[in-house]
Amino acid sequence: MTISPPTGCPVNHTDFTPAKPALSYWKLLDDLREEAPIMWNDAHGVGFWMVQRHDQVLEVMQQPKLFSNDVIQAINPREDAIYFLPNMLNAPEHNDMRRLLNRWFSPAAVRKAEPLMVERANSLIDELIGEGRHEMMTGFAMRYPTDLLLQILGMPVEDGPQMVQWVEAIFGGAFGGEGGHAAVDKIKAYFAPAFEERRKNPGDPETDFLTYLLQTPMGDSLLSDEDLLTVCMTMMTAGLDTTRSALGYIFRDLALNDDHRTYVIENTDRLPDVVEEFVRLHNLIMQPGREVTEDVDFHGVHMKKGDVVWIGIAQACRDPREFADPTTFDPDRDNLGKHLGWGAGGHRCIGMHLARHEIVVALREWHKRIPDYRVVDPDGLMERGVQLSLQSMELEWDRR
């Protein structure tokens, strides 16, 4: 494996794995972006280039031939990294798999799931509203997207708590490690009998995801058994923790800022942009990676074939060169559509329409019933490193 020496650009020694007080990492990343557009990090074994400004991050994501998805995380990029699909495919296979999957996650498909979202949000709120107090990160924020994704994939909603534990283990192992791989195996073993069942008794491929995956060719051939299971494991891993973490940071912000909460309550038609602005402001995908495929001079930095690049989505989303007053919440900013919080190019988030709409419905239904609430210990909140998430957050409200 090649490891480039830092050719004249600043070297940074930050370890991005430990837990820190909430919102520390964004402050740190803002400072690093302003220190230099590109720097070399040597704190994680295999060093990597950190590309940090909006225009350069976009450039990397739009050049998949030069920056490949053989690597998708800057920290622990190869040794025992978990294999995800479609994330780790490159063109042309990647295009084929996205064509196969996109339909299932399109805006039209997501609109059809709206009644389910309303029902799940309200039945979870029914359970907790009388308590006047709720641990958000293991409660509503985790259970709501888990229940929804299981139902959308045609699996029993009762399996949510078990699925949550496995997904937690994958993130706990930072996308690798013995515990992470064991959890991957368990998620695959969970889906295997469901595929067997669909082989014997196919559902309607228009409405049943597993039957659709079994029957629909990618290019010229059907997916292998292993790929079927990897796709389902990926959807669970990529779809649950992200939405949960986004909900956590959003509810924290709304609890602490009455003006933001009032905006949400009074402007329900603006909720899609509220969510977009939060995805920009609080982007939790901290260390997405790429692999350099040939020696290149990138904005004055000599990168070698095989080097790893951290595409600084979180830094880019708060780059003052692109966004005025970037650390302020402003859902009315006119260039909101330019944020990179869902990624860009061919690998842009497949679940973005689903996640956005899930969060819109959660905010709308929650605030109808619990419009006023507080964080119990705002100064004690901690966030996880690697992929950002609040570790826990207790909310409280007055019982009526």
Please state whether beta strands 382-384 and 301-303 pair in parallel, antiparallel, or not at all (unpaired).
Answer: unpaired
CA distances from 211 to 146, 186, 244, 347 (A): 20, 21, 27, 25
CA distance 26 to 315: 8
**Contact with ligand HEM (CB under 6 A): which of 175, 209, 342, 366?**
342
CB of 212 to ligand HEM, least distance (A): 15
Nearer to ligand HEM (CB atom), residue 320 or residue 346: 346
Query: Using CA atoms in the order 270, 276, 282, 284, what is the torsion angle rounded to 10 degrees?
Result: 140
**Token pair listed for 94:** 């990647």
Q: Which stretch binds ligand HEM (CB under 6 A): 18-26, 212-220, 318-326, 335-343?
A: 335-343
CA distance 17 to 140: 26
Smallest CA-to-CA distance from 282 within 315, 323, 321 is with: 315
Nearer to ligand HEM (CB atom), residue 44 or residue 98: 98
CA distances from 304 to 5, 7, 47, 220, 309 (A): 10, 11, 12, 35, 11
Helix (H, G, I), strand (E, B) or coil at 113: coil
Residue 35 CB neighbours (<10 A): 11
Q: Which stretch binds ligand HEM (CB under 6 A): 13-21, 43-51, 171-179, 351-359?
A: 351-359
Q: What is the DSSP string of 284-340?
A: ----BEEEE-S-EEETTEEE-TT-EEEE-HHHHHT-TTTSSSTTS--TT-TTGGG--
CB 253 within 8 A of CB 278: yes
Q: Which stretch binds ligand HEM (CB under 6 A): 14-22, 123-131, 163-171, 350-358?
A: 350-358
Q: Which stretch binds ligand HEM (CB under 6 A): 171-179, 215-223, 237-245, 327-335?
A: 237-245
**Token pair listed for 363:** 């905010």
Nearer to ligand HEM (CB atom), residue 167 or residue 397: 167
Q: What is the DSSP string of 6-34?
A: --SS-EE-----S-EETTHHHHHHHHHHH
CB 310 within 8 A of CB 287: yes
Nearer to ligand HEM (CB atom), residue 214 or residue 360: 360
Nearer to ligand HEM (CB atom), residue 38 or residue 60: 60
CA distance 297 to 295: 7
Nearer to ligand HEM (CB atom), residue 59 or residue 397: 59
CA distance 179 to 308: 24
Binding mask 269-288 for ligand HEM (x = CB under 6 A): ----------x----xx--x
CB of 283 to ligand HEM, least distance (A): 6
**Contact with ligand HEM (CB under 6 A): which of 261, 280, 347, 384?**
347
Residue nearest to ligand HEM (CB): 351
Nearer to ligand HEM (CB atom), residue 321 or residue 348: 348
Q: Which stretch binds ligand HEM (CB under 6 A): 1-9, 154-162, 220-228, 348-356?
A: 348-356
Q: How far is CA 394 from the centre of its chain?
A: 22
The answer to the question of residue 87 lying near ligand HEM (CB under 6 A) is yes
CB of 352 to ligand HEM, least distance (A): 6
**Contact with ligand HEM (CB under 6 A): which of 246, 281, 309, 314?**
246
Find the binding residues for ligand HEM in span 161-200 (CB under 6 A).
Answer: none
CB of 166 to ligand HEM, least distance (A): 16
Binding mask 106-145 for ligand HEM (x = CB under 6 A): ----------------------------------------
Nearer to ligand HEM (CB atom), residue 39 or residue 352: 352
Catalog residues that contact ligand HEM under the rule CB under 6 A. 72, 86-87, 98, 149, 234-235, 238-239, 242-243, 246, 279, 284-285, 288, 313, 341-343, 347, 349-351, 354-355
